[in-house]
A and B are shown apart, each in its own frame.
Chain A
Amino acid sequence: MKNNRVQVISDIAEIINSNPGCCFLRKAELIFESSIENDIDLLLTHDANNTLWKYLKKLGFKKKIDSKILNIYLYGAQPHIHYYNKNLDLHFDCVFGLFHKSVHIISQPGFEITHWIPLDKSIQEDSIKEFSKIKINECEINFLRSEVELVHLLAHVILDKKGNTDTYYKERIPLLLKKSDINKLKNMLNLVFFNFTDYLIELLEKNKFDLLFQEYIAFGDY
């Protein structure tokens, strides 16, 4: 069963590599340790998604698209598509762009409506121009370049997770910060976090990850 899993993930990596504009979105170095709960996040084009689904369908994967009733997709954002197989303990969470949750939520009894917003167009375009690569299990893995990955991770931690930063991100973010071109990074962050950018970088440099969300919503210097 384990071999099947490895084979499926390797095949997916091949599909990703052969389709321009696609990559593993987060935790690329951990994809072989993934499970149903700890899914593999993929950034795909629609063509690549079709190829992927044709392949996964044959293996007995099931498909689920995030509800449009509970989510509102603004400015071109689109729902996540999930492919999962309980026997293989695998779950692929696929997106067609860098889309994040807005802090604006509509509350109704029993449920909440989440608004999804894409990161700025220039970040989206820049994100797929060129990828970083690593080799795991003889398999080449494409993932986002340092600056784009860092912007995406910060948006993920602050907006999607509402500040709930797990250990992986606490280790990964400082690493990416060291590797990033600070001017490029600031330019991109300015398009997402506006005047909060400089203070955000200050918080990251002081390793104050648990305060990111609270400081973001309490920020008042603008």
Chain B
Amino acid sequence: MSNPGVILLAAHSKSGGCFEKIRIEDNIGESIHIHLDDFRIDLTIEEFELFSKIIWRALQELDDLPDHLKESNFLSDIYKVTNYKKPEIDIKNSKINELSFIKRTSFLRFFYLYGLVNIKETPQYLYLKNLSNEYESYPQKNYLGISNADRLESRLTSLSNKNLKTDPYAVVFGKNSLVVRDGMHTCSIIAHKSGINSYVDVLHIKNIGFREQVNQPILWCIKSVIGSTFFILKRIGVIFLKKILKK
């Protein structure tokens, strides 16, 4: 009996340590599965929510973190960027117009190209200003059943409900970088509502891992071309292998 309603909630793999792969799947109507290498833990939603809360609390208390970082939605991602070391951060007040944002463009259908653009050129901002509908088909991963427009609308609603002054809106890697790695939707909304010269709190992660230091748009383009080509070749290879094994 197989459940067709499987949603992958999170996945992470890392060599070394007590386990290498973790996958959390929602099997709709049945249970939440946590796969740790070859082991599987089945939880009800209530149990999973309790488990998540405990893990989140543990993450908050793991290092002597500043309070605003403890409450930040970015916290779990920040640990990945610092290679699981204690995050060293700065919060700076920056003008949105002076920040750079990463824009993804489709290339030869199967690849992405990445470039840096000003807030005025982001698909989100242009969509909010009714200047372009490009955002509707902008390639980005959303939750299942959520369109790009839904996502922007939902962020718009959550921003108007939150205390805007204390929460950092964007994350950049490095002490002096101006390239926003997370927070393009939020910055676009603020720029749309209050103007592109508005100031936002930007979270600077100072102790980023080597991988993040060299991870630049030109490298992402190369990674996209290699990654997609490898993926297609792998699929073709698996099909041929299955045919050979059948014979």
Binding site for B on A (CB under 8 A): 68-69, 74-75, 100-104, 107-111, 113, 117-118, 120, 155, 159, 162-163, 191-197, 213-214, 216-217, 219-222
> Cβ of B30 and Cβ of A222 under 8 Å apart?
yes
When distances are taken between beta carbons in the complex, the residues of chain B under 8 Å from A220 are 45
When distances are taken between beta carbons in the complex, the residues of chain B under 8 Å from A195 are 29-30
Give B190 Cβ to nearest chain A Cβ, in Å: 28
> Cβ of A109 and Cβ of B30 under 8 Å apart?
no
Contact mask for chain B residues 1-45; partner A; CB cutoff 8 A; 1 contact, 0 none: 111111110000000000000000001111100000000000011
In the bound complex, how far is the Cα of B92 from the Cα of A156, in angstroms? 51
Q: Nearest residue in A to B113 (C-beta to C-beta)?
A: A109
In the bound complex, how far is the Cα of B1 from the Cα of A191, in angstroms? 7
B244 within 8 A of A: no
Say which one of B71-79, B94-102, B139-147 lies at the interface with A.
B139-147
Q: Nearest residue in B to A121 (C-beta to C-beta)?
A: B1
Binding site for A on B (CB under 8 A): 1-8, 27-31, 44-45, 106-107, 109-112, 139, 141, 144-145, 224, 228, 231-232, 235-236, 239
> Cβ of A197 and Cβ of B29 under 8 Å apart?
yes
When distances are taken between beta carbons in the complex, the residues of chain B under 8 Å from A101 are 4
A216 touching B28 in the complex, CB below 8 Å, given contacts A103-B6, A109-B228: yes
In the bound complex, how far is the Cα of B29 from the Cα of A68, in angstroms? 29
> Cβ of A159 and Cβ of B29 under 8 Å apart?
no
In the bound complex, how far is the Cα of B4 from the Cα of A75, in angstroms? 11
Give B140 Cβ to nearest chain A Cβ, in Å: 10
> Cβ of B111 and Cβ of A196 under 8 Å apart?
no
When distances are taken between beta carbons in the complex, the residues of chain B under 8 Å from A221 are 45
> Cβ of B145 and Cβ of A217 under 8 Å apart?
yes
In the bound complex, how far is the Cα of B3 from the Cα of A100, in angstroms? 11
A217 touching B144 in the complex, CB below 8 Å, given contacts A69-B232, A69-B239, A193-B5: yes
What 20 new A-B contacts, CB under 8 Å, besides A109-B110, A194-B27, A197-B29? A69-B239, A103-B144, A104-B6, A109-B109, A109-B139, A109-B228, A110-B109, A159-B4, A163-B145, A194-B3, A194-B5, A194-B29, A195-B29, A195-B30, A216-B5, A216-B28, A220-B45, A221-B45, A222-B29, A222-B31
When distances are taken between beta carbons in the complex, the residues of chain A under 8 Å from B110 are 108-111
> Cβ of A104 and Cβ of B8 under 8 Å apart?
yes
> Cβ of B231 and Cβ of A104 under 8 Å apart?
no
> Cβ of B239 and Cβ of A103 under 8 Å apart?
no
When distances are taken between beta carbons in the complex, the residues of chain B under 8 Å from A219 are 28-29
> Cβ of B29 and Cβ of A193 under 8 Å apart?
yes
Give chain A's interface secondary structure class: mixed
> Cβ of B231 and Cβ of A108 under 8 Å apart?
yes
A102 touching B4 in the complex, CB below 8 Å, given contacts A69-B236, A217-B145: yes
Q: Nearest residue in A to B142 (C-beta to C-beta)?
A: A107
> Cβ of A68 and Cβ of B239 under 8 Å apart?
yes
> Cβ of A104 and Cβ of B7 under 8 Å apart?
yes
- 6 closest A-B pairs by CB: A194-B29, A196-B29, A110-B109, A110-B110, A194-B30, A195-B29
When distances are taken between beta carbons in the complex, the residues of chain A under 8 Å from B144 are 103, 217
Task: List, sorted by A's number, 8 A–B pairs whose CB atoms are closer than 8 Å.
Answer: A103-B6, A107-B141, A109-B109, A109-B112, A109-B224, A194-B5, A196-B29, A220-B45
> Cβ of B29 and Cβ of A214 under 8 Å apart?
no
> Cβ of A103 and Cβ of B7 under 8 Å apart?
yes
Q: Nearest residue in A to B232 (C-beta to C-beta)?
A: A69
Name, among B145, B232, B236, the residue most crowded by chain A CB atoms within 10 Å (CB to CB): B145
Name, among B29, B106, B231, B235, the residue most crowded by chain A CB atoms within 10 Å (CB to CB): B29
> Cβ of A117 and Cβ of B30 under 8 Å apart?
no
In the bound complex, how far is the Cα of B5 from the Cα of A103, in angstroms? 5
When distances are taken between beta carbons in the complex, the residues of chain A under 8 Å from B1 are 120, 191
> Cβ of B4 and Cβ of A192 under 8 Å apart?
yes
Name, among A103, A109, A159, A192, the residue most crowded by chain B CB atoms within 10 Å (CB to CB): A109
Q: Which of B7, B8, B31, B45 contacts A217 (CB 8 A)?
A: B7
When distances are taken between beta carbons in the complex, the residues of chain B under 8 Å from A100 are 4
Q: Nearest residue in B to A103 (C-beta to C-beta)?
A: B5
Q: Nearest residue in A to B7 (C-beta to C-beta)?
A: A103
Give A213 Cβ to nearest chain B Cβ, in Å: 7
> Cβ of A217 and Cβ of B4 under 8 Å apart?
no
Q: Nearest residue in A to B27 (C-beta to C-beta)?
A: A194
Q: Which of A74, A110, A159, A163 contacts B106 (CB 8 A)?
A: A110
